[in-house]
Amino acid sequence: KAGVTQTPRYLIKTRGQQVTLSCSPISGHRSVSWYQQTPGQGLQFLFEYFSETQRNKGNFPGRFSGRQFSNSRSEMNVSTLELGDSALYLCASSFIAGSYEQYFGPGTRLTVT
Amino acid sequence: QQPVQSPQAVILREGEDAVINCSSSKALYSVHWYRQKHGEAPVFLMILLKGGEQKGHEKISASFNEKKQQSSLYLTASQLSYSGTYFCGTAGIQGAQKLVFGQGTRLTINP
């Protein structure tokens, strides 16, 4: 069974631009969560989607948004990029929503200059 | 609130044992343990649910003391492949997917 895939793997953007990251969960998994990982803050929860609905949201500004499609694929968007948005963005999928085991993708390394 | 992991880093020789602790100030429903190797995604190790059960995974096991809101990860007879950063993620509500992760414990196993 294929794992979680994320595209692109690396991205360099300029301050003020916007970016869209994509995540394809493991086949059959309907829940997708997004995390931001930085050396200073560690792994921080962004949001979780299940059946195209946002179930949970972390403490991030409104510049961070996401959505999930009917095939469970998910995208997250960051508008008006700031230098502090440079991070590894990880997507994790699980079979159902709730506190169950999550399988992480390789992440997208975003660098904002 | 972010759980606190201790120690922050530990260096062992192959074959030695290690214990990594995860403490929360909030009541916990579940504790999740992950290992992340440098440049790779976190890999799921195990979940412990409210009830104080202990779980095992090869030579890696964990316990969950819900009264103390603490979990400990035990690595026995460590192998080189155990090197990496270990994270605990906690959830305070059944069915809540919002995991809050600790800062991680960097484990280095030397030959």
pLDDT average per 10 residues of sequence, chain B (111 residues): 94 96 90 92 89 71 89 93 94 73 95 93
- One-letter amino acid of A16: G
CB contact under 8 A, A98 and B98: no
Please tell me what DSSP assigns to residue B67. Answer: T
Interchain CB contact of A95 with B (< 8 Å): no
DSSP three-state, residue B38: coil
Mean pLDDT, residues A96-112 taken together: 86
CB contact under 8 A, A55 and B97: yes
Across the interface, of B32, B47, B104, the residue whose CB is closest to A42 is B104
CB contact under 8 A, A97 and B95: yes
Interchain CB contact of A103 with B (< 8 Å): yes
By the 10 Å C-beta count (0-12 exposed, 13-18 middle, 19+ buried), A46 is classed as: buried
For A56: left if phi > 0, alpha if psi spans -120 to 50, otherwise beta; the answer is: beta
CB contact under 8 A, B96 and A56: yes
pLDDT per residue over B19-48, tens digit each? Answer: 999 999 988 888 999 999 998 999 999 888
- Residues of B within 8 A of A31 (CB-CB) are 97
Q: For residue A37, what pLDDT band results from cuts at 50, 70 and 90? A: very high
CB–CB of A16/A30 below 8 Å? no
Question: Residue A98: its pLDDT value, please?
Answer: 63
Mean pLDDT, residues A1-10 taken together: 92
Interchain CB contact of B47 with A (< 8 Å): yes
Best of B35, B71, B97, B105 to mutate (most A CBs within 10 Å, chain A): B97
Which of these ranges, A69-78, A104-113, B23-32, B78-87, has the smallest mean pLDDT? B23-32
Place of tokens 């990860």: B73
CB contact under 8 A, A101 and B32: yes
For chain A, what is the mean pLDDT?
Answer: 93
* Strand pairing class (B105-110; B9-13): parallel
DSSP three-state, residue B80: helix
Q: How far is CA A76 from the centre of its chain?
A: 6
